[in-house]
Amino acid sequence: MKLKNKSKNGTKFKANVELSKLKEIEKEISMLKSANALLYWDRATILPAKAVLERSDQAAYLSKLIHEKLISNELKKIISTLSEPLHFNKLDKISQLIVKKYQKDLKKLIKIPTSHVEDFSKLCIKSLGAWEQARDKKDFKVFEPFLEKVLEMKLKEVNYIDSKSHPYNVLLDDYEEGMTVDDVKKVFEKLKLGLLELIAKIKTSDKYVKSKNLSNKLNKLKFPIEQQKEIIEDIRKLILVDMDRTIIAESVHPFTNTISPNDVRITTAYRKGQPLFAFTSTAHECGHALYELDFDPKLRDTILFNAPSYGLHESQSRIWENQIMRSEEFWKYYFPKFKKKFPSLKSMNRQEFYELMNQVKESLVRIECDEVTYCLHIIIRFELEVALLEGKIKVKDLPKEWNNKYNEYLHIKPKNDKIGVLQDMHWSEGLFGYFPTYAIGTMYSAMLFKEMNKDHPKLMQEVRKGKVDTVRNWLKDNVHKHAGKYLAKDVVKKATGKYLSPDDFLEYLNEKYGKIYGF
Amino acid sequence: MKLKNKSKNGTKFKANVELSKLKEIEKEISMLKSANALLYWDRATILPAKAVLERSDQAAYLSKLIHEKLISNELKKIISTLSEPLHFNKLDKISQLIVKKYQKDLKKLIKIPTSHVEDFSKLCIKSLGAWEQARDKKDFKVFEPFLEKVLEMKLKEVNYIDSKSHPYNVLLDDYEEGMTVDDVKKVFEKLKLGLLELIAKIKTSDKYVKSKNLSNKLNKLKFPIEQQKEIIEDIRKLILVDMDRTIIAESVHPFTNTISPNDVRITTAYRKGQPLFAFTSTAHECGHALYELDFDPKLRDTILFNAPSYGLHESQSRIWENQIMRSEEFWKYYFPKFKKKFPSLKSMNRQEFYELMNQVKESLVRIECDEVTYCLHIIIRFELEVALLEGKIKVKDLPKEWNNKYNEYLHIKPKNDKIGVLQDMHWSEGLFGYFPTYAIGTMYSAMLFKEMNKDHPKLMQEVRKGKVDTVRNWLKDNVHKHAGKYLAKDVVKKATGKYLSPDDFLEYLNEKYGKIYGF
């Protein structure tokens, strides 16, 4: 008995020693990631033009240090020791989840040769440059050979990891863990039909037909940047509340960037001819930022201090951007304030403004389109990606296939590649499998929003008064605080009782746009 | 013969292998330093308030990584191999300088236990906090025990490095390599006498006596920040020319921060009641920045890609701030432009403005004082530091000794410790031996400026037309491009034919202020 006791204590002791070694490594990785995130933030906001190459070197070096720590024998040994049932069973629940996550991630990570990681990262820099050039010249041909190489290397990577699965499943795992290409296909098929049906209804409505040839009045009004900035400060405070854990800056494309647990940053952009862009993009990025600010601090510096999927992350930005800040109720509260800032709105009433900011129009550019057509842009990209990876089409076919799909689903054809197949940078960096998360997030946002309203039937009455505490608290308790403890699909199941489906989203759209377009 | 040849090639080969290993380590150190510099810059400019502690952790970790690389056995071995005459003699001139610099620095670095470095860095964070509290309470007693501990640890460090030299010499070596406490004492004694004599002359001049009880008119005029910003942009472009290698931001105290060779940043501050503060501080920081931007790119990433001393660095900021931008000639060019921005100057003529911005007044605060009294503030600090390190006074005596010296040299006594002994943060971080570099730099600036005018007799006529290319080029060729290849005193000797002396500075002051105060 004594011996057994001793052995038990010994085991407990060993597990603790390994756990604290793990904590130390995680802390180091976390600090390197913070520094690397800052290098990125700074590059996208204020870096002097001539320092761009130096900055890539710095970022590549820190990435290498992080990668080396992740695939180090030390970490492998710690995880392998802690995975032994003898030790594993002695761990608390959170530590068990951490060990399991490392087991899974390391299994994948060690299969990819470091040389491949480095070569791919170098290729991406060139490929991104070629994409920029191709855009300037509005000519896909400039980008084509680079994209071919990127795709080839991405397929090689997929093969390293798992040569038996559908390649798209391997890719999806990086962004939407636990979801398969068949899951996505099924959901997207239903979503597509629902959207096409709704758009058809909208397009035959009287209101649509009447305004069909008029351009959106809002885009012609004056919205001085100084006043836009004041509005954006207001929105930031409304969503994020604690201004001592965040800052905002300007960048070409808005983004959210977490430097460390109390330092989550967003950017916005002021675009000519799109006066509401800064407003909606700030609401969007604040949604992302609030998610990261709400992670359970107990998980700090661990591998679980992350959102479980890009789709779930996107759902958090969409709820604030669309369900809250594009809602009729929000503008009942906010329009008088808004109008005061912008005298150009003097002769416009709230209803007209609300309808104009939610105008549906089949258009070419994903990041400028409305809520209804948005997911069709995503579905087009997903279908092209799958066809590429299954070898059904080739890189050189992309412009033609792209234009055909836009014609088929959105009844519009790009005049050139810049506003067609070259509009997103994602593929130039090898981000195949990423696009679906935008639509998955959009569907999740509707599911979560519906559940939130069930739990709090007076929620939108609060929004009408400018109160969003209930929204914030519900999201924190049901989504944010969990950080990476559970898979995204399980977080949503726990919160709503359902797995991913387009039903709630289509219901939300039909109700909102039925009211706007009168059917 | 064949054998000998073979051996020669073998040696050459070995030296090359070690050199390229060295280059790799230097590149890594350089990238870590860039990331660390960015952490610092960001903290001082935009970091969210609640992320301060996280930021210290990140910076401490990167500092540790850099320190570990510097004291690594690998680096020691490389330097020791390359120092062997067999290899050393095969190296090119620059590589020899690099090896010698490492030899010297490592000798010092390895004597200080890592635990001491860590303990001291932790102490400094506490000590800085105590200094801030003491300032708020205007009470030196709050800071006293921390400063005692800082001094004690600094003396311990001095002892690790060299227990036989005068402790001040060991400290000086960090900031003004190659200079001794006796050198400084001798030069400062002469400087002090010259300044006291000049101030006495100024104070008995008619102009001074008449305006003695009037406060400076400039400080009461309105200088809107938006217009100040435009002026500062103008000054930045004038001094730095290439705007793609630099940016400017705001911080509490202005500073210059080099992130990487093409990314040298400055900050400024807009202070109420000191309308010219942003202007003069920007000229000052641009001088620092131009130095770093002009380093010979061949020395990139090496230990020589640094200024050789803080004093020489300071000379570069002083030349632009004082000799150029506080000169009569510069204002002949700039006053009409300046006046256009600030209607509040409407009724003021150029001469009055020039004299007001160069008004001499015995005052309490170093960073707000004029060119003439500035070095007396430094000499007071130097004398107190030396007395402390020689054990002639104790930390608790500092407020009394400080006030006595201010009374003796500047005929003014601080009303409280905040504007007295607590005004600088330097001591709280253990920066003993740093203050003299401000006065050394000031003297160097006059020596270099005099030589520059000898080489280009029409230089100030160019300045009068707003042309400063000759200044910029002369500084680049005679100071900047060398970076850390030579000791500061040798750079100045090479450029001017002389070693440090207060003569040129006193001559410059006497001429300029004799003209202003009419003697």
Quick check: B5 pLDDT over 90?
Answer: no
Residue B216: per-residue pLDDT = 87
Q: How many CB pairs under 8 A join A and B?
A: 93
B86-107, pLDDT tens digit by residue? 999 999 999 999 999 999 999 9
Chain B residues whose beta carbon lies within 8 Å of the beta carbon of residue A50? 242, 244-245, 262-263
* CB contact at 8 A, A133 and A80: no
CB contact under 8 A, A54 and B261: yes
- Categorize the per-residue pLDDT at A7 as very low, low, confident or very high, splitting at 50, 70 and 90: low
Produce one character per residue of A154-177: b if its CB has 16 or more CB atoms within 10 Å, e if not: bbebbeebeeeebbbbbbbbebbb
B432-478, pLDDT tens digit by residue? 999 999 999 999 999 999 999 999 999 999 999 999 999 999 999 99
If DSSP codes are grouped into helix, strand and coil, which group holds residue B517? helix
Residue A452: per-residue pLDDT = 98
Nearest residue to A312 via CA among A438, A154, A223: A438
Lowest model confidence (mean pLDDT) among A479-493, B112-126, B132-146: B112-126
- Categorize the per-residue pLDDT at B126 as very low, low, confident or very high, splitting at 50, 70 and 90: confident
Strand order in the sheet with B256-260: B248-250, B263-268, B256-260
Q: Give the residue carrying structure tokens 């403004």.
A: A353
**To probe the interface with A, which of B29, B47, B69 has the most A CB atoms within 10 Å?**
B47
Nearest residue to A309 via CA among A291, A285, A294, A283: A291
Residues of B with CB under 8 A from a CB of A: 28, 31-32, 34-36, 38-39, 42, 46-51, 54-55, 57-58, 61-62, 242-247, 249, 259-263, 265
State the DSSP string of B433-495: T-THHHHHHHHHHHHHHHHHHHH-TTHHHHHHTT--HHHHHHHHHHTGGGTTSS-HHHHHHHH
Q: Which of A28, A34, A245 sits opposite B50 (nearest CB)?
A: A245
Average pLDDT of span A452-476: 98
In chain B, the residue whose alpha carbon lies closest to the alpha carbon of A262 is: B51
B305-318, pLDDT tens digit by residue? 999 999 999 999 99
Quick check: A5 pLDDT over 70?
Answer: no
Q: Give the residue carrying structure tokens 């070596």.
A: B173
In the structure encoding, which two tokens stand for residue A377, read together? 């842009």
Beta-carbon contacts of B36 under 8 Å, excluding residues fewer than 6 positions away, are A35, B59, B62, B63, B66
A339-350, pLDDT tens digit by residue? 999 999 999 999
Residue B8: per-residue pLDDT = 56
In chain B, the residue whose alpha carbon lies closest to the alpha carbon of A53 is: B262
Quick check: B6 pLDDT over 80?
Answer: no
Average pLDDT of span A376-400: 97
Nearest residue to B354 via CA among B332, B324, B336: B332
Lowest model confidence (mean pLDDT) among A117-126, A136-145, B341-350: A117-126
In terms of DSSP H, where are the helices of A456-500? 459-464, 469-478, 488-496
Query: Quick one: what percent of chain A has pLDDT higher than 90?
Result: 90
- The mean pLDDT of chain A is 95
Strands B256-260 and B248-250: unpaired
Chain Cα centroid distance, residue A99: 26
Rg (CA), chain A: 24
Average pLDDT of span A211-232: 91
d(CA B173, CA A394): 66
**To probe the interface with A, which of B29, B42, B265 has the most A CB atoms within 10 Å?**
B42
CB contact under 8 A, A38 and B42: yes
Q: pTM for the full model? A: 0.94
Q: Which of B62, B243, B260 sits opposite A51 (nearest CB)?
A: B260
- Categorize the per-residue pLDDT at A8 as very low, low, confident or very high, splitting at 50, 70 and 90: low
In the structure encoding, which two tokens stand for residue B32, read together? 């870590």
Beta-carbon contacts of A150 under 8 Å, excluding residues fewer than 6 positions away, are A123, A124, A127, A427, A428, A429, A430
Average pLDDT of span A98-119: 93
Chain A residues whose beta carbon lies within 8 Å of the beta carbon of residue B61? 28, 31-32
Q: Tell me how far apart the terminal alpha carbons of chain B are, to the nearest angstrom.
A: 78
Q: Which of B34, B54, B249 sits opposite A261 (nearest CB)?
A: B54
Chain B residues whose beta carbon lies within 8 Å of the beta carbon of residue A66? none
CB contact under 8 A, A50 and B242: yes
Phi and psi, residue A276, nearest 5°: -95, 0
A297: number of Cβ within 10 Å: 12
Asked if ipTM goes beyond 0.90, one says yes
Nearest residue to A241 via CA among A319, A315, A294, A298: A294
Residue B295: per-residue pLDDT = 98
Q: Which of A48, A244, A263 sits opposite B263 (nearest CB)?
A: A48
d(CA B326, CA B356): 11
Chain B residues whose beta carbon lies within 8 Å of the beta carbon of residue A259? 51
In chain B, the residue whose alpha carbon lies closest to the alpha carbon of A300 is: B54
Q: Which of B38, B47, B261 sits opposite A39 (nearest CB)?
A: B38
Chain A residues whose beta carbon lies within 8 Å of the beta carbon of residue B246? 48
Residue A9: per-residue pLDDT = 61
User: How far away is chain A from the Cα of B53, in angstroms, using its nearest Cα?
Assistant: 9
* CB contact at 8 A, B227 and B339: no
Q: Which of A39, A54, A262 sits opposite B262 (nearest CB)?
A: A54
Query: Quick one: what percent of chain A has pLDDT higher than 70?
Result: 98
CB contact under 8 A, B54 and A262: yes
Instruction: Name the more confident of B119 and B160.
Output: B160
A25-54, pLDDT tens digit by residue? 999 999 999 999 999 999 999 999 999 989
* CB contact at 8 A, A513 and A322: no
Residue A129: per-residue pLDDT = 87
In the structure encoding, which two tokens stand for residue A191, read together? 């979503």
In chain B, the residue whose alpha carbon lies closest to the alpha carbon of A243 is: B48
CB contact under 8 A, A34 and B47: no
d(CA A397, CA A141): 11
Residue A33: per-residue pLDDT = 97
Q: What is the DSSP letter of A216?
A: P
Residue B101: per-residue pLDDT = 97
d(CA B229, CA B400): 41
Query: Quick one: what percent of chain B has pLDDT higher than 90?
Result: 89
Residue A214: per-residue pLDDT = 79
**To probe the interface with A, which of B26, B259, B267, B292 has the most A CB atoms within 10 Å?**
B259
**To probe the interface with B, which of A68, A262, A266 has the most B CB atoms within 10 Å?**
A262
* CB contact at 8 A, B271 and B278: yes
Chain B residues whose beta carbon lies within 8 Å of the beta carbon of residue A49? 244
User: How far away is chain B from the Cα of A34, in angstroms, using its nearest Cα?
Assistant: 7
Chain Cα centroid distance, residue A188: 17
Strands A248-250 and A263-268: parallel
* CB contact at 8 A, B352 and B339: no
In the structure encoding, which two tokens stand for residue A496, read together? 């709503």
Beta-carbon contacts of A155 under 8 Å, excluding residues fewer than 6 positions away, are A167, A389
In chain A, the residue whose alpha carbon lies closest to the alpha carbon of B28 is: A61
Q: Which of B28, B32, B38 sits opposite A42 (nearest CB)?
A: B38
Average pLDDT of span A447-452: 98
CA angle centred on A32, ends A26 and A37, rounded to 5°: 120
User: How far away is chain B from the Cα of A35, in angstroms, using its nearest Cα?
Assistant: 6
- Categorize the per-residue pLDDT at A126 as very low, low, confident or very high, splitting at 50, 70 and 90: confident
B184-243, pLDDT tens digit by residue? 999 999 999 999 999 999 999 999 999 887 788 898 899 999 999 999 999 999 999 999
Q: What is the DSSP letter of A422?
A: T
Q: What is the DSSP letter of B406?
A: H
